Amino acid sequence: MTAVCEPAVYEKVALIGLGLIAGSMAWAMKRDGTAGEVRGYARSAESREMTRRLGFCDVVCDDLAEVVQDADLIVLATPVGVMGRVAETIAPHLKPGAVVIDVGSVKRTVIEEVAPHIPEGVHFVPCHPMAGTEHSGPASGFASLFDNRWCLIVPVEGTPEAEVARLESYWQRLGARTERMEPEHHDLVCAVVSHVPHLIAYTMVGVADDLRRVSDQEVIKFSAAGFRDFTRIAASDPTMWRDVFLTNKEATLEILGRFTEELFALQRAIRTGDGEQLHAYFTRTRAIRRGILQAGQDTDKPDFGRTR
Ligand X SMILES: O=C(O)C(=O)Cc1ccc(O)cc1
Ligand Y SMILES: NC(=O)C1=CN([C@@H]2O[C@H](COP(=O)(O)OP(=O)(O)OC[C@H]3O[C@@H](n4cnc5c(N)ncnc54)[C@H](O)[C@@H]3O)[C@@H](O)[C@H]2O)C=CC1
Give Cα 7 to chain centroid, integer Å: 27
Collapsing DSSP to helix, strand or coil, 133 comes out as coil
Task: Considering only the stretches 27-35, 131-139, 203-211, 216-224, report the one whose residues sit in contact with ligand X under the rule CB under 6 A.
Answer: 131-139
Query: Under a CB-based contact definition with an 8 Å cutoff, are residues 71 and 51 in contact?
Result: no
**Least separation, in Å, of the C-beta of 80 and ligand X?**
9
- C-alpha atoms less than 13 angstroms from C-alpha of 72 in its C-beta half-sphere: 14
Q: Which does 237 bind (CB under 5 to 8 A by kind): ligand X, ligand Y, none?
A: ligand Y
Residues paired with 60 in a beta bridge: 40
For residues 12-29, one letter each, b for 16 or more C-beta atoms within 10 angstroms of the residue's C-beta and e for the rest, the string is bbbbbbbbbbbbbbbbbb
d(CA 122, CA 102): 14
- Give yes or no for residue 101 binding ligand X (CB under 6 A): no
Cα 267 versus chain centre, distance: 33
Tell me which residues in 120-159 interact with ligand Y (CB under 6 A).
Answer: 129, 132-133, 136-137, 140
- The rounded distance, in Å, linking the Cα atoms of 77 and 15 is 7
Closer to ligand Y by CB, 63 or 182: give it.
63
Kindly indicate which of the ranges 9-17, 28-36, 128-136, 248-256 contains the residues binding ligand X, using the contact rule CB under 6 A. 128-136
CA 5 to each of CA 13, 31, 34, 38, 297: distance values in angstroms, whole numbers, following the listed order: 19, 11, 10, 18, 30
The CB-of-67 to ligand Y minimum distance in angstroms stands at 10
Q: Which does 196 bind (CB under 5 to 8 A by kind): ligand X, ligand Y, none?
A: none
From residue 217 to residue 256, the character string flagging contacts with ligand X as x (rule: CB under 6 A) and all else as - is ----------------x-----------------------
Opening angle at CA 80, ends 77 and 157, nearest 5: 90
Supply the minimum distance, in Å, between the C-beta of residue 187 and ligand Y.
12
Contact letters for ligand X, residues 44-83 (x by CB under 6 A) = ----------------------------------------
- What does 274 interact with, of ligand X, ligand Y, none (CB < 5 to 8 A by kind)? none
Tell me how far apart the alpha carbons of residues 73 and 177 are, in angstroms, rounded to a whole number: 19
> Residue 252: is it exposed, middle or buried by C-beta count within 10 angstroms (0-12/13-18/19+)?
buried
175 binds ligand Y (CB under 6 A): no
Q: Which residues bind ligand Y (CB under 6 A)?
A: 16-22, 43, 47, 77-80, 82, 86, 103-105, 129, 132-133, 136-137, 140, 237, 240, 244
Q: Which residues bind ligand X (CB under 6 A)?
A: 105, 130-134, 194, 233
